[in-house]
Amino acid sequence: MTITRKVGHRERSVFACKECGHETAKWVDRCPGCDAWNSSVEWREPKAAAPPGLTATAEAPVQLAELHIENTPRLPLGIGELDRVLGGGLVPGSLVLLGGDPGIGKSTLILQAAGSIASPKRPVVYLAGEESPSQVKLRAERLGLTGEGLYVIGETALERALEQAAAQNPALVIVDSIQTVYCEELEGGRSGPGSLAQLRESTLLLMRWAKQSSVPVFLIGHVTKDGDIAGPRMLEHIVDVVLYLEGDRYSAYRLLRGVKNRFGSVDEVGVFEMAGDGLRGVENPSEAFIAERPADAIGSAIVPTLEGSRPVLIEVQALTSPSVTPAPRRTANGLDINRLLLVTAVLSRRLNMVQLAQQDVIANVIGGLRIGEPAADLGLALAIVSSFKDKAFPPDLVAIGEVGLSGELRSVAHLERRLLEAERLGFKRCVLPESTLTRQRPQTGIELLPAAGLRDAVRLALNH
């Protein structure tokens, strides 16, 4: 995309905590994020970086009608699930941040992408700050890459590394990771790699370099335990695209989500499976996630959830067992503990036949996935009831619906998309909130079992 008139931007001043990156509008003596004292520093939020071709100088207002935009081709990375999340590939000169927990597979994914596009005519440069070039080579071998056209640079002083990179005339530059590189210019490189100031300066330098050279740059960033890209959210403001690779380390599945994209939608989700030779795209996630489910699974329910705009069937499991402690335990893996507490409390109060006050309840989402949406409440409730009653629901049943505090069921969005996915995978009926059908009339071959409330839904599911 090239925009041919010049547009102006303003810089905004904000304060951020040196320790955790928590942002505030004013200077504060104690950080509300991590309680650190005197950690607040001022910094200027950079102008929203202009897309390639757009130089941000003139302050004169511009009529949108006068702007002329040409489509420049994106650089597809040859990995379907990654390109899907990027919106078709990398925009020239864009800066993309890939975040995720250490060990989740970021370097693997990026190296695969690098290997898939690199050729002697189209070189890719990999700044390896975390590993030695020979370690990168070992990984590349494991991934079955020849390494032709793939240049590894071990230099972590960014100015010099970028000079070396530019000499190769690369089609793509990868920085693994932003926490290990530093700008020499900043205090002569004295504030070490990984410090807040270095993270910011390095990212800004990469941003300028990417825009000037029109070479896309992929940045890898580790995530702190709170889920922020180490520490500072400010990196997210600077870069054009933010992707997160997530999943349970002990499970093979990985989800790649877009959380920001200046050039496309953030609704797409990529699904991968970690294998011995790298990450493989999972084209049929629903099939994969429910593949191992036995037909008469007790304590299990299938929920058609939405990952971005993509419907994915997910199995929710629950196990109830008499508690040996005075305060029964509630454990949630892959879903919000507060949703579990809410659903167990509502079940105990509204359904006489499900008394959970003396029961430990463990809830689990299969495949190391995480469900973020309340539409999975009803599935969770059914899984708990099934375990408590020691009775399986019909194997061809799915459930959708948010549970309210008085036991009512609340409607969910994009019903038809969810039902289509369930139908595609052979499910025949769906328990869902009655209220949903007043607004949406889904075209579906699935038998709909509308329920007025949670009690009604449990009755319908048990009697079918």
108 binds ligand TYD (CB under 6 A): yes
142 binds ligand TYD (CB under 6 A): yes
Closest CA to 354 of 362, 345, 341, 363: 345
User: Three-class SS of residue 197?
Assistant: helix
Q: Which two tokens stand for residue 240?
A: 């054009």
223 binds ligand TYD (CB under 6 A): no
**Minimum separation from the CB atom of position 300 to ligand TYD (A):** 28
Among 87, 100, 129, 401, binds ligand TYD (CB under 6 A): 100
Contact assessment for residue 198 and residue 206, using Cβ atoms and an 8 Å cutoff: no
Instruction: Give the residue with the Cβ less far from ligand TYD, 274 or 457.
Output: 274
256 binds ligand TYD (CB under 6 A): no
Instruction: Give the residue with the Cβ less far from ligand TYD, 33 or 99.
Output: 99
**Minimum separation from the CB atom of position 207 to ligand TYD (A):** 22
107 binds ligand TYD (CB under 6 A): yes
In angstroms, what CA-CA distances link 305 with 172, 310, 428?
A: 35, 8, 17
| One-letter identity of residue 437 | L
Contact assessment for residue 219 and residue 239, using Cβ atoms and an 8 Å cutoff: yes
Helix (H) or strand (E) holding 382: helix 377-389
Q: Which residue sits closest to Mg ion, CB atoms considered?
A: 107
Q: Please list the residues that pair with 283 across neighbouring strands.
A: none
112 binds Mg ion (CB under 5 A): no
216 binds ligand TYD (CB under 6 A): no
CA distance 87 to 75: 10
The alpha carbon of 4 is separated from its chain's Cα centroid by a whole number of angstroms, namely 33
**Minimum separation from the CB atom of position 96 to ligand TYD (A):** 15
277 binds ligand TYD (CB under 6 A): yes
> Which residue's structure tokens are 């599945």?
253
CA distance 143 to 55: 40
State the binding partner of 61 from ligand TYD, Mg ion, none, CB within 5 to 8 A by kind: none
Among 18, 106, 254, 418, binds ligand TYD (CB under 6 A): 106
**Minimum separation from the CB atom of position 93 to ligand TYD (A):** 25
139 binds ligand TYD (CB under 6 A): yes
CA distance 120 to 98: 26
CA distance 371 to 164: 44
CA distance 212 to 455: 62
**Contact map string, positions 90 to 109, toward Mg ion, x by CB under 5 A:** -----------------x--
**Minimum separation from the CB atom of position 131 to Mg ion (A):** 7
179 binds Mg ion (CB under 5 A): no
Contact assessment for residue 378 and residue 435, using Cβ atoms and an 8 Å cutoff: no
103 binds ligand TYD (CB under 6 A): yes
**Minimum separation from the CB atom of position 347 to ligand TYD (A):** 39
Per-residue DSSP letters for 248-313? Answer: -TTSSEEEEEEEEETTS-S--EEEEEEETTEEEE-S-HHHHHHTT--TT-TTEEEEEEEETTEEEE
42 binds ligand TYD (CB under 6 A): no
Instruction: Give the residue with the Cβ less far from ligand TYD, 230 or 342.
Output: 230
State the binding partner of 139 from ligand TYD, Mg ion, none, CB within 5 to 8 A by kind: ligand TYD
Candidate ranges 11-19, 72-80, 100-108, 444-452; the one touching ligand TYD (CB under 6 A): 100-108
Q: Restricting to residues 399-428, which ones interact with ligand TYD according to CB under 6 A?
A: none
Contact assessment for residue 417 and residue 423, using Cβ atoms and an 8 Å cutoff: no
Q: Restricting to residues 427-446, which ones interact with Mg ion according to CB under 5 A?
A: none
In the complex, which residues of this chain contact ligand TYD (CB under 6 A)?
A: 100, 102-108, 139, 142-143, 274, 276-278
In the complex, which residues of this chain contact Mg ion (CB under 5 A)?
A: 107
